[in-house]
Amino acid sequence: MKTLCLSTDLQERIRAHCVASYPHEACGLLLGQGGNITHMVPSPNLSDQPAKNFDIDPALIIQHQKAGREGCERIVGHYHSHPDGQAMPSARDQAQNYDKDLIWVIVQVTDGVAQDIKAFATAPQSGQLTAILLNR
């Protein structure tokens, strides 16, 4: 996949969640088909260090995996924010990239204001999260 289709409306809703969670990281699921995102589902950040890390609610993941099997929109990726960081996968993000099929969206929030939003997918050769184009 070279391009992620993520509507301006969805991008704004993701940014708004990330701003509301500042200075903690926000996180949530991205539902859709292939490279076309149709829904964003905000999750509580269950990390015990929410300013530095994120953990999506596993109950939310199970709920949407089940719904996907029953014909609803599938989980195709997730988003999280980097408060006062870069919109780039951290070393921890790369280490926690367990499901190589998922798309990652990362939002930079600086001083409580949303900045860059970028999308990443796992490169087949390196196994590393690599930037993909974001349709705006």
Stretch that binds Zn ion, among 33-41, 43-51, 70-78, 90-98 (CB under 5 A): 90-98
* CA quadruple 105, 111, 112, 118: dihedral, nearest 10: -10
Output the smallest distance, CB 80 to Zn ion, in A.
5
Stretch that binds Zn ion, among 5-13, 89-97, 110-118, 124-132 (CB under 5 A): 89-97
Question: Which residue is nearest to Zn ion, using beta carbons?
Answer: 93
Q: Is residue 93 part of the contact set for Zn ion (CB under 5 A)?
A: yes
Output the smallest distance, CB 52 to Zn ion, in A.
9
Stretch that binds Zn ion, among 10-18, 62-70, 87-95, 110-118 (CB under 5 A): 87-95
Helix (H) or strand (E) holding 8: helix 8-21
**Contact between 125 and 100 (Cβ < 8 Å):** no
Q: Is residue 90 part of the contact set for Zn ion (CB under 5 A)?
A: yes
Cβ burial, residue 29 (10 Å; 0-12/13-18/19+): buried
Q: Is 92 left (phi over 0), alpha (psi -120 to 50) or beta?
A: alpha
| Residues lying near Zn ion in the complex (CB under 5 A) | 90, 93
